[in-house]
Amino acid sequence: GTLPLDKFRFYLKQDRYYLEQFGDLHAAIAHQISTPAIKQFLLDGAAGLHDGETQIRHTMFKELAITPAEIKTTPIAPTAYGYVTHMDFQLSHAFPAAAVAALLPCYWLYSEIGQNLKDVHSPVTVYQQFLDSYSAADFNDGTQQMIQIVEQLCAPLSDEQKAYVQKVFLQSSTYELHFWQMA
């Protein structure tokens, strides 16, 4: 409850842009995947991001008086833009394992935050909503599935390709850190 609300408002507006693009990337990557279960997981993820995450954020926006006009006039921060561009580059110029690995740090970080803070209760309602959304068992299960998908996609790759996937994962992890710091 100690984070200033103006910082959280800024974060949420940037995160809205990020999640919109993140959902689109799930769908686009799914179309490059031939394994039906992985393809469906990514398509379900895209739908969940566009529906579920949007609904959670919409509630938070209402509570924080973030209007559609404010969202429309808020410039995209360089970090948010850079992170999305990095993931989009993997989709366009690499191979599916790298594209999926670029998505993984977001899942993993929020899952870790949710699990580590699941017993913490914030006196600020909107902060508690945020924590609750990432401590849910289904979010953690989705994260574990994403980890398994990356491992499955990497299994047949050469050592050089696996090293590239690791580099992509670490770059996305760095963007995650910077995304939090920008707020």
Tell me 155's DSSP state. T
Q: Which helix (H) or strand (E) holds 30?
A: helix 5-30
**Residue 141 buriedness (CB in 10 A; 0-12 / 13-18 / 19+):** exposed
Q: Can you read off the two tokens belonging to residue 136?
A: 């849910």
Q: pTM for the full model?
A: 0.92
Closest-CA residue to 182 (of 109, 77, 84, 110): 77
| pLDDT above 90 (res 46) | no
Mean pLDDT of 144-154: 97
| pLDDT above 90 (res 42) | yes
Q: From CA 3, how far away is CA 177, in angstroms rounded? A: 17
Averaged pLDDT of the chain: 93
